[in-house]
């Protein structure tokens, strides 16, 4: 890390933001902005923050992530997920600053059936994915290629915030107590990614001054059913659950949602792991660490 590297972090109150704060490397001067400090829907405010603080990097970890609600709020989703990175990049172009834009597997349509490589064309199928893809495009268009890094990830969760893991822990307890099964979609495949490994990837990208498009998720593959089953199994082993609920696999058709999800959104991370200098961590191993963190504060 360069000494006294100044990083403007957005989304500092979110689950990834908190992991980034907890793992900040030495030699970083961090300007942490949550919703109260910076409204990502306000492009002028985003540009002003860059001009005022003149960071070496903007780490844009904030986002509009309500996938279903985005279908009813497309303007807001586009303002946050596309307008903000575009504004950051445009303001950074006036200086020597760089942008790390955190993006998503939802920029792909999920139809190819094998892992997506960073250089592949995007083809999102919902408002959320379209807004994130537009954010990537605006950021890369406004900055020189060597000063913009897009880091795509998938199925993010951690020990804090609102996410699938914590929701499933709660539902396992409720369903097990009621003697009812827990039905979870089994025909959508991707990979869970823990916030602590994603934070490590973000800091590595900044430390190595990487650019272009990178993919980062934990290793392996899973359906939401697999993930929910493992949460129950490992949660019970760590004393977070008296017992897990029975988990039943269902199809996406059995659980309709306002937004379509890609049926297969696994990311090819092999090249990016080499660039980042980070070893793969299997998603179950990462999940065990997250659940240990949850247990430590329970």
Task: Report how far residue 74's alpha carbon sits from residue 188's, in angstroms, rounded to the nearest whole number.
Answer: 24
Domains in the chain, CATH or no CATH each: 5-157+193-218+266-280 (3.40.50.720)
Mind listing the pLDDT tens digit for each residue in 47-71?
Answer: 999 999 999 999 999 999 999 999 9
The model's pTM is 0.96
Mean pLDDT (whole number) for 222-228: 98
Asked whether the predicted pLDDT for residue 130 surpasses 50, the reply is yes
| CA torsion angle 105 71 143 276 (round to 10) | -20
Strands (DSSP E) along the chain, which ranges? 5-10, 28-33, 57-60, 98-104, 148-153, 156-157, 182-185, 189-190, 193-194, 212-215, 222-223, 247-250
Catalytic residue IDs: 128
pLDDT at 1 over 70: no
Q: How far apart are CA 277 and CA 261, in angstroms?
A: 31
Q: Could you read off the pLDDT of 74-115 as tens digits, one per residue?
A: 999 999 999 999 999 999 999 999 999 999 999 999 999 999
State the pLDDT confidence band at 3, using cuts at 50, 70 and 90.
low
Residue 2: the pLDDT is 45
H/E/C letters for each residue in 44-94? HHHHHHHHHHCCCEEEECCCCCCCCHHHCCHHHHHHHHHHHHHHHHHHHCC
CA 292, distance to chain mean position in Å, is 21
C-alpha distances (whole Å) from 276 to each of 6, 39, 245, 264, 291 are: 20, 30, 38, 25, 26
């Amino acid at each position: 890390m360069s000494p006294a590297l100044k990083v403007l972090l957005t989304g500092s109150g979110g689950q990834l933001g908190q992991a980034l704060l907890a793992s900040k490397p030495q030699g970083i001067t961090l300007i942490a902005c949550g919703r109260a400090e910076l409204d990502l829907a306000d492009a002028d405010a985003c540009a002003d923050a860059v001009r005022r603080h003149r960071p070496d990097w903007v780490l844009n970890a904030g986002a509009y992530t309500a996938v279903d609600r985005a279908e009813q709020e497309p303007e807001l989703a586009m303002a946050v997920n596309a307008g903000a990175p575009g504004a950051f990049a445009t303001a950074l172009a006036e200086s020597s600053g760089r942008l790390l834009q955190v993006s998503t597997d939802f920029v792909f349509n999920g139809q190819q059936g094998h892992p997506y490589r960073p250089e592949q064309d995007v083809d999102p199928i919902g408002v959320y994915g379209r807004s994130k893809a537009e954010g990537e495009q605006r950021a890369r268009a406004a900055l020189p290629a060597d000063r913009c890094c897009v880091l795509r990830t998938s199925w993010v969760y951690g020990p804090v915030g609102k996410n699938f893991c914590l929701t499933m822990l709660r539902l396992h307890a409720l369903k097990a107590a009621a003697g009812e099964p827990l039905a979870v979609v089994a025909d959508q495949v991707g990979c869970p990614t823990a916030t602590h490994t994603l934070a490590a990837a973000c800091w590595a990208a900044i430390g190595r001054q990487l650019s272009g498009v990178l993919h980062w998720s934990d290793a392996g593959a899973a359906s939401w059913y697999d993930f929910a089953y493992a949460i129950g199994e490992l949660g019970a082993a760590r004393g977070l659950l008296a017992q897990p609920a029975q988990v039943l696999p269902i199809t996406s058709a059995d659980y309709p949602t306002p937004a379509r999800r890609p049926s297969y959104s696994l990311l090819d991370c092999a090249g990016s792991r080499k660039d980042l200098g980070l070893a793969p961590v299997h998603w179950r191993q990462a999940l065990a660490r997250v659940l240990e963190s949850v247990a430590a504060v329970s």
